[in-house]
Amino acid sequence: MSTLQELWIAATPPQVPRHLEYPTGSLVDEFDRATAEFADLPALDFFGARTSYAELREAVYTVAGNLAEMGVGPGRQVALLMPNCPQHVIAFYAVLVAGGTVVEHNPLSTIAELTPMFADHQADVAIVWDSAAPLLLNMPAAVRPSHIIAVTMIDAMPLGKRLLLRLPIKKARESRALLSTPAPRAIPWSRLLRHAPLPPAANRPDPDDDALILYTSGTTALPKGVPLTHRNLNANSVQGATWVIGLQPGKEVFLTCLPLFHVFGCSLAMNLPLQYGAMLHLVPKPEAGLILDTFTRKVSTIVIAVPPLFERIADAAAERGVSIRGARVGISGAMPLPASLIDKWEAATGGLLIEGYGLSECSPILAGNPVTKARKPGHIGIPFPDTEIRLSDPDDPSREVPQGEPGEILAKGPQVFSGYRNRPEETAAAFWDGWFRTGDIAEPDEDGFLRIVDRIKEVVITGGFNVYPSEVEEALRGLEGVRDAAVVGLVNELGAEEVVAALVLHEGHTVDLEQVRERIRERLTAYKVPRKLFVVPELPRNPMGKVLRREVRDVLLKLRADAGELADRVRTDAEILADKVRLDSADLVDKVRSDAGALADRVRGDAGALADRVRTEREQRALRREGAGEAEPDEVTPDDTTPG
């Protein structure tokens, strides 16, 4: 046992066992157990419309019967493209009950983005938000599903809201347009609710069958399918529920505002709470106003979100005077959680806000801060129960780094997937001796708490030195006027990589970029200081709020090219001006020289004429004197002469 492992054991709260018991069945078995145990309790709340666990079970099995008739069963995939709504939850479990595998997609994706994924998973059935149905109906025939089922979110709303949305007024029409778009060529969801329920024993999935496929993209490659089994997802639910000390089955309310098409929302904000009899506040779009409306109906005791969303909720609650007190536990992920935000959230709620760490490939959570006052801001915490973590040399994963040094996180555990779909080479590269290589660099503090330094693929190598973007970003965010920052590496004209940063400023602020560089030099070693800085209105982010570095890189490349063109134009204009000045100067010199020559000639001419006149006058006087017999004076000047 290493010192690091001993530190992790010491840091684990005594209420959390290091080893747990997990379900032996599938997600369907857990769904059946929970819907029977909590039958009369509310499972879902959508704008105030409640669905009980018993009603949820009936709807799931009814839809599953219809899906089975469409050919859904073991080895078949069903694509889901929906915002958070009751139909999304029903469809997810209906696919599993029918024996199929769910494939989650962002309903706002484009055809170009979806086509390679559909070609990979080959789903013949898709259940989609009606506004996204035209997208699938217009996909290439080779990948277009045979059965496209359109869901209208309005149908799941309370009667009062549905009636308001039907009013013949402008605001109602605009709201309807945002929520729904007619899809006449698609199968209406309502048709799937008219079939007799599927018998519970039909097509029971095995715990090692794939339950869910999510697509994760790298920095340059096409998205890779990440299959997660029933066993993977059940394990992470149990781990997560155990980690939240004091979780009370049948009494919790979860804020489900993160998209269910993302593993964070799907696993921690849907599967976990439904297995423990909680009520889900389903929010179709993570907007502060919609979220605060849920708090006025019933306070969410557990909030799963990302830092920007926690910030928006806390700020909006303060502005509108809405109490969020009673949100006992907040769990954040996907990006660093600032200490200032923790203070703000905990002051507003009276609860705790902790940061965790995970990846799609790990269902998703591997580590977290204890849900106690011992949590450490700025750290991802310690490993979950039954989760092994080692920090290895990124260039040689067989070598563990010395205690206290940063290394790549390698992981093992019941929540870790076994490989990418149809990608044997990527799968081989992702594992070393049974350990999953996360690609994230972390370093432990004196208590063993891990802090993410950066991702291997995002490290900038400049002049032979490694620069971790997160370190530079943290320094930039600490400067006055800078609200956010993203750092990437760009290859310069010499073929070397250089550090380049995009800055987002606080509203109403301006900065001198050269002064920013000077101030950063006081905080960072010279090679870490960005060679170029650009101000942008916002940073591109994914639906979870995570910065999309590839898009940041594209933006910065364009800005750099535009700046280069401008510099070239300025340089060209300056050269033209200089040439003109040189030509004008030469002309001026020639003119001055010519004028001076002419003046000199005129002066010489005038002087010669004067001398001739003087000589003539002297000669005339001499002749007059000679005629008069006068002596010639010793010196004669023009002033000495007098008329004769």
| Confidence bin at 142 (pLDDT 50/70/90) | very high
Q: Give the span between the Cα atoms of 408 and 397, in whole angstroms.
A: 8
The confidence score (pLDDT) of residue 247 equals 98
Highest mean pLDDT among 171-180, 385-394, 485-494, 553-562: 385-394
Q: Can you give the CATH number for the domain in which 511 is found?
A: 3.30.300.30
Question: What's the average model confidence in pLDDT over 125-139?
Answer: 95
DSSP alpha helix (H) spans, 522-548 = none
Distances (CA, A) of 589 to 583, 592, 600, 638: 10, 5, 16, 39
- Amino acid identity of residue 293, one-letter, is D
542-599 tens-digit pLDDT? 887 888 888 998 999 999 888 876 656 666 665 666 666 565 666 655 665 666 566 6
In a domain, residue 242? The reply is: no
SS3 246: coil
In a domain, residue 167? The reply is: yes
In a domain, residue 188? The reply is: yes
Q: Give the span between the Cα atoms of 347 and 318, in whole angstroms.
A: 11
Question: What's the average model confidence in pLDDT over 420-438?
Answer: 97
Lowest mean pLDDT segment, chosen from 284-293, 409-418, 471-480, 542-551: 542-551
| Confidence bin at 627 (pLDDT 50/70/90) | low
The confidence score (pLDDT) of residue 626 equals 59
β partners of residue 460: 467
The confidence score (pLDDT) of residue 220 equals 44
Q: Which of 44, 57, 53, 83 is nearest to 280 (CA)?
A: 44
Question: What's the average model confidence in pLDDT over 333-357?
Answer: 94
CA-based R_g, the chain, Å? 39
241-256 tens-digit pLDDT? 999 999 999 999 999 9
β partners of residue 391: 409
Handedness of CA 242, 246, 248, 252 (dihedral sign): negative
Q: Can you give the CATH number for the domain in which 104 is found?
A: 3.40.50.980
Token readout for 409 is 């996180």
The confidence score (pLDDT) of residue 198 equals 81
The confidence score (pLDDT) of residue 506 equals 92
| Confidence bin at 45 (pLDDT 50/70/90) | very high
In a domain, residue 498? The reply is: yes
Residues 6+ apart with CB under 8 A from 47: 157, 158, 161, 293
Buried/exposed code over 621-636 (b: 16+ C-beta within 10 A; e: otherwise): beeeeeeeeeeeeeee
Cα 428 to chain centroid, rounded: 27
The answer to whether residues 254 and 302 touch, using CB atoms and an 8 Å cutoff, is: yes
Residue 639 reports pLDDT greater than 50: no
The confidence score (pLDDT) of residue 631 equals 46
Token readout for 37 is 């145990």
Residue 297 reports pLDDT greater than 60: yes
Q: Give the span between the Cα atoms of 1 and 511, in whole angstroms.
A: 51
The confidence score (pLDDT) of residue 568 equals 61
**Torsion angle in degrees (nearest 10) through CA of 552, 553, 555, 559:** 130
Q: Give the span between the Cα atoms of 88 and 127, in whole angstroms.
A: 9
Domain boundary among 172, 205, 238: 205
Buried/exposed code over 590-616 (b: 16+ C-beta within 10 A; e: otherwise): eeeeeeeeeeeeeeeeeeeeeeeeeee
β partners of residue 441: 408, 454
| Confidence bin at 616 (pLDDT 50/70/90) | low
The confidence score (pLDDT) of residue 219 equals 45
Question: Whole domain around residue 495: which residue ranges?
Answer: 459-539
The confidence score (pLDDT) of residue 415 equals 99
Edge-to-edge order in the sheet of strand 532-535:
482-491, 497-505, 532-535
Question: What's the average model confidence in pLDDT over 123-138?
Answer: 95
Q: Which of 309, 243, 313 is nearest to 272 (CA)?
A: 243
Percentage, residues of the chain above pLDDT 90: 68
Domain boundary among 185, 205, 225: 205
- Amino acid identity of residue 502, one-letter, is A
The answer to whether residues 441 and 456 touch, using CB atoms and an 8 Å cutoff, is: yes
3-state helix, strand, coil in the chain (%, to 5): 40, 20, 35
The answer to whether residues 223 and 112 touch, using CB atoms and an 8 Å cutoff, is: no
Mean per-residue pLDDT over the chain, rounded:
89
Q: Give the span between the Cα atoms of 446 and 142, in whole angstroms.
A: 56
374-406 tens-digit pLDDT? 999 999 999 999 999 999 999 999 999 999 999
Number of structural domains in the chain: 2
Domain boundary among 170, 205, 240: 205
In a domain, residue 529? The reply is: yes
502-515 tens-digit pLDDT? 999 999 999 999 99
In a domain, residue 83? The reply is: yes
In a domain, residue 394? The reply is: no
Residue 216 reports pLDDT greater than 80: yes
The confidence score (pLDDT) of residue 115 equals 94
Cα first-last separation, the chain: 136
63-100 tens-digit pLDDT? 999 999 999 999 999 999 999 999 999 999 999 999 99
In a domain, residue 126? The reply is: yes
What is residue 385's DSSP assignment? T
